[in-house]
């Protein structure tokens, strides 16, 4: 079991200790549940009351935070610091060791040093698996595909033919990389399949959640940029380009040939039509239906998606409709009464 002093944890995240730096920490927990040998964090001011009441051995907080008797680790980004410390205590992922005799590895495949391959893995001819990569049970690596070094591919992932995956990538169970793009040419009442002859390129340090589908390009490539993180249940269509460092939440669907810039943020259940561009740093709020290109740095929301300020203004006006409806009804009644009196006086 891992254990560290508070001083050691602070050094690991570049933090400053206020309190007992020699206290021993053996685990991590939430701010309300943590005990004397556990570390927790507070990144949101709404948890100040919980900070005062916590029994945690140490709390990671922002500079300027005070908490009475609690030992604090002060750092500019408490959430990022907690993520680093959490990794220090996290148990190693369940993984095979060595090459399972139950795996099929084609003689023409190239396997790097220190690779771990679980049972019932298939690695086809001319595939390449980089050094120290782990392939979980039941994973398929297709003909001519490349998986880089230090990757963690969980059980039952499908990496189709000629797909390229960079270094230090993580792909969770059930995901398919390189499935055919949805392309058909309609002639009369017949839909003719368009062969999907392109590839998928996943750059370095990408993490892809469970049960995602990333389609190969019709021609050329579908590309996921370096450092991007994809949640579970995401559909990336053919020829989509996702820029570096982009975050995409669950159940998002991105239609063909759309281009996302760098460091975009897409909330859950966002839907994007084909052939548009999303500028660098744009934020698409949850359940947005995006039907046209979005400018750099813009935040949008709604169906169809519009600038957030515009949506808030419109929603504010909608909230007043009932009040205005009642007022109009009162005015109509007043006008009717005035007409009645006028007619009586004629």
Enzyme catalytic residues = 238
> Residue 285 in contact with residue 267, Cβ under 8 Å?
yes
- Quote the tokens at residue 59: 């709390």
Which residue blocks in 271-320 are alpha helix, DSSP H?
Answer: 308-319
Long-range contacts of 95-98 (CB under 8 A, 24+ apart): 95/134, 95/136, 95/152, 96/134, 96/135, 96/136, 96/137
- Quote the tokens at residue 294: 């979005």
- Quote the tokens at residue 304: 């169809």
Sign of CA dihedral 305, 311, 312, 317: negative
What is the DSSP secondary-structure string of 136-169?
-TT-EE-TT-EE-TT-EE-TT-EE-TT-EE-TT-
Q: How far apart are CA 251 and CA 297, in angstroms?
A: 23
Distances (CA, A) of 273 to 167, 202, 305: 30, 22, 11
What number of other Cβ atoms are within 10 A of residue 229's Cβ?
Answer: 16
Name, in order, each residue with C-beta under 8 angstroms of 284's C-beta and a sequence gap of 6 or more: 264, 265, 266, 267, 270, 272, 278, 290, 294, 300, 301, 305
């Amino acid at each position: 079991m891992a254990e560290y002093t508070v001083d050691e944890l602070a050094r690991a995240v570049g933090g400053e200790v206020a309190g007992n730096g020699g206290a021993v920490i053996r685990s991590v927990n939430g701010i309300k549940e943590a005990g004397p040998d556990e570390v927790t964090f507070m990144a949101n001011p709404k948890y100040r009351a919980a900070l005062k009441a916590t029994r945690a051995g140490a709390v990671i907080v922002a500079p300027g935070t005070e908490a009475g008797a609690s030992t604090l680790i002060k750092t500019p980004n408490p959430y990022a610091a907690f993520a680093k410390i959490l990794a220090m205590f996290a148990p190693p992922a369940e993984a095979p060791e060595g090459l399972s005799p139950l795996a099929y590895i084609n003689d023409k495949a190239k396997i790097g040093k220190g690779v771990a391959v679980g049972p019932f893995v298939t690695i086809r001819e001319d595939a390449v698996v980089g050094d120290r990569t782990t392939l979980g049970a039941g994973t398929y690596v297709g003909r001519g595909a490349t998986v880089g070094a230090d990757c963690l591919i969980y059980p039952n992932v499908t990496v189709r033919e000629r797909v390229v995956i960079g270094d230090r990538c993580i792909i969770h169970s059930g995901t398919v990389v390189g499935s055919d793009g949805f392309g058909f040419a309609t002639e009369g009442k017949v839909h003719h399949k368009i062969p999907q002859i392109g590839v998928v390129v996943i750059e370095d340090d990408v993490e892809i959640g469970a049960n995602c589908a990333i389609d190969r390009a019709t021609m050329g490539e579908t590309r996921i940029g370096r450092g991007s993180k994809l949640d579970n249940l995401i559909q990336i269509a053919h020829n989509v380009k996702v820029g570096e460092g982009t975050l995409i939440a669950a159940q998002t669907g991105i239609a063909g040939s759309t281009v996302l810039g760098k460091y975009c943020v897409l909330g859950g259940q966002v839907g994007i039509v084909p052939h548009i561009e999303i500028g660098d740093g744009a934020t698409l709020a949850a359940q947005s239906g995006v039907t046209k290109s979005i400018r750099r740095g813009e935040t949008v929301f709604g169906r169809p998606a519009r600038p957030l300020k515009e949506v808030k203004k419109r929603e504010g006006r909608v909230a007043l409709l009932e009040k205005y409806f009642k007022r109009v009804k009162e005015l109509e009644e007043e006008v009717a009464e005035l007409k009645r009196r006028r007619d009586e006086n004629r």
